[in-house]
Structure 1
């Protein structure tokens, strides 16, 4: 693209709110023979340190904070840089980051809690909760005409929503008339900046409420038959509406009461309180290889009330908070001896929930399965679960080996730098060194 526009198609098919590369390298965890003795070497993360030093010293990013932990032990923290380029306030474990699609695993686990409560079931038709989604119509051609349609051959289910197999679209993924229809309907759950850059980021204005979002979405055609294709979508945002109907509480209230408060996630919000702006990082747009302020902290769109709580891409969180979420996962629902979710719900949510016959081949989730809002490893890599965000954040948990790891920085589009893959690769390299040291 020419000068004056962000590198790559901003939020393009591979660059948007996702973490597709993260488990491609992270899956190598399954091949490493490290065990209890390796814990003695925890804290030695030279490859992760080198990655952070490289990016911050070159001023490609303002900061990088990596948080890595074993089972229920306190995390190792690697922090480099400042809250914004040219500022002096250092970034750290309590700084605030736009985690975008790392919101999806949180929404996924909230859904698993309602399945655990018998308020939902995995293969329950969505129309039992939201009747407007009965009798859906489907595009005969993916991203083709929005008038050449056919009836859905099976109902959308909760499983489909969790795994991006419902046939729903995404304005940052789809092309042609269906993309325009999503934007007209306000089915664009997410926000980037107060700056007038809608044309660059391919977004319209979101619907005024979660109810309106769901109702408008139900009137749009599906892009694929339910249960037949993995296609990244707004399904986790729609689950926000499902959660509030099934629980009888607003979606954001449910998250606070059932996840954030019990986990001690005191710095995770859909809207950053004005009094916390001093901890908020600046988000950058990479243009011609240079980071330029895209969402400055003190003028951030995340200081405004969002149209509704975006369950697919709406949260701001701190590295400390997100580590507590991952710590709960590697604890199979427990953290610090306190149970937040059942072990069964965690095991199910971090397992491969894809409908039979659906493959991720040819997608940016290729080589993996998909669970409750996150990518899961298969075979030797089973037990690895996580996802990344549009502004460079990435996080995963290896439940089998008790490892949790996350990296926080802020730049868009995520593909401007290869961090989604480079961070897990650095973790694996350091784990290999630990394994060699114990041999």
Structure 2
């Protein structure tokens, strides 16, 4: 078989997953006056999302993606759905609220809030040294030059804490971000907490993940940090490591904790680390963008890697979820831990988890968190955007809540690399444009 060559933008592990942090909820309402947006709440007609509808139409009609779906809602009201296209190119099954999407790093806020629940339970502390839970992380070393020699290291000046893991300030690296010896060491030690396809494709890494969360954590502890803990915002495997912290602190497997403490009580019945065979008909295909309107099925639903049991539950990028389920997750946050009369997590968990948890002196310049705060696995808005919280995924998904205005918004599609299109930027702009129109009409 002739090798498949992808055109620019190059499909690499870095470009495949880096977009997972491109848009945070803190930027969603940039430039929109608070008062006018507040007026829009509850005063719009069901057809007011004209800019979002136009965006969805433009992407699908141009053949850029086979489907695109947006959910929008106020408070605990039923979501409004804007959807177009089929689950697969040339398919006949329309994408809808129950279709299944690879949400990649939109997994991170769920993992972050799970850790916050254990803090509320008294089984963890926000500023607790990680080594008290995982002793192998005592006495860490740090690269003298980030991404430089693995031998030229210095002592960590402070311990990694749970807060650091929640906010990507632990000094850990990411195989999709780092380069040089540390990237190679991550690959050789199974520090590969993600999956893309069963296919062997040029530019798509094939490094095998560690065999379990325990082995993942132990191997990670043997490697030097890239930055001193608590000094630099660095997108990392910290939320995956937090999965191991959660299972040690809770005394149960990480995925079982999520299922028992969050998914089941919240009524999230279509959220999986592994898609059951019975649900294959709902799984969308994931496509590599090879050129304008030219898509290659890199992870077809019927042969998806998400039908396999993962090496371990990837707390940073492992979940497949329906738009209906993720909307329930957003409703849970907006209602401060309650949904349909069921208390899933405490109000304090949500208030603290969606607040700015960054350590006092952290450099975010030039990062995905630049100009914003960071909470439990998601970006937090500051100033006029205070109250917003959310994150995006590598295959074109993005979601945010506005705690002050009671708004929830999410977008779902499936393509890679994430920077092939401007979905992560176009969606928030469309949300703002529609909100502004509603406010002016009001």
Shorter chain as denominator, the TM-score bin is over 0.9
> Given the two structures, how large is their TM-score scaled by the length of structure 2?
0.96
Conservation of the 8 A alpha-carbon contact between 1:99 and 1:389? yes
Aligned mate of 1:97, from 88, 97, 101: 101
Distance 1:207 1:394, change over 3 A: same
Aligned to 2:339: 335
The answer as to 2:221 corresponding to 1:218 is: yes
Deviation at 1:13, TM superposition (A): 6.3
Distance 1:168 1:335, change over 3 A: same
CA RMSD of aligned residues (A): 1.6
Deviation at 1:15, TM superposition (A): 5.3
Deviation at 1:19, TM superposition (A): 3.1
Aligned to 1:261: 264
Deviation at 1:24, TM superposition (A): 5.9
> C-alpha distance in 2, partners of 1:231/1:31?
31
Deviation at 1:359, TM superposition (A): 3.1
- Unpaired runs of at least 5, structure 1: none
The answer as to 2:291 corresponding to 1:288 is: yes
Aligned mate of 1:206, from 205, 209, 228: 209
Aligned mate of 1:27, from 26, 29, 54: 29
Aligned to 2:129: 125
Distance 1:323 1:42, change over 3 A: farther
Aligned to 2:178: 174
Distance 1:239 1:6, change over 3 A: farther
> C-alpha distance in 1, partners of 2:69/2:389?
20
Aligned to 1:273: 276
Q: Report the 3-state secondary structure (helix = DSSP H, G, I; strand = E; otherwise coil) of the residue aligned with 1:34.
A: helix
Q: Deviations over 1:29-84 (max 9, x none)?
A: 76242336641315320000000000001110010110011011110011100000
Deviation at 1:385, TM superposition (A): 0.3
Conservation of the 8 A alpha-carbon contact between 2:136 and 2:218? yes
- Unpaired runs of at least 5, structure 2: none
Q: Report the 3-state secondary structure (helix = DSSP H, G, I; strand = E; otherwise coil) of the residue aligned with 2:271.
A: coil
Aligned mate of 1:400, from 404, 411, 422: 404
Deviation at 1:366, TM superposition (A): 1.3
Distance 1:118 1:24, change over 3 A: closer
Q: Report the 3-state secondary structure (helix = DSSP H, G, I; strand = E; otherwise coil) of the residue aligned with 2:411.
A: strand
> C-alpha distance in 2, partners of 1:14/1:192?
9
Structure 2 counterparts to residues 48-127 of structure 1, below 5 A: 48-127=52-131
Conservation of the 8 A alpha-carbon contact between 2:118 and 2:246? yes
> C-alpha distance in 1, partners of 2:204/2:403?
35
> Given the two structures, how large is their TM-score scaled by the length of structure 1?
0.96
Deviation at 1:21, TM superposition (A): 2.6
Q: Deviations over 1:226-262 (max 9, x none)?
A: 0110000000000000000000010000000110001
Deviation at 1:4, TM superposition (A): 1.1
Say how many residue pairs are matched. Answer: 436
Aligned mate of 1:230, from 229, 233, 244: 233
> C-alpha distance in 1, partners of 2:24/2:117?
25
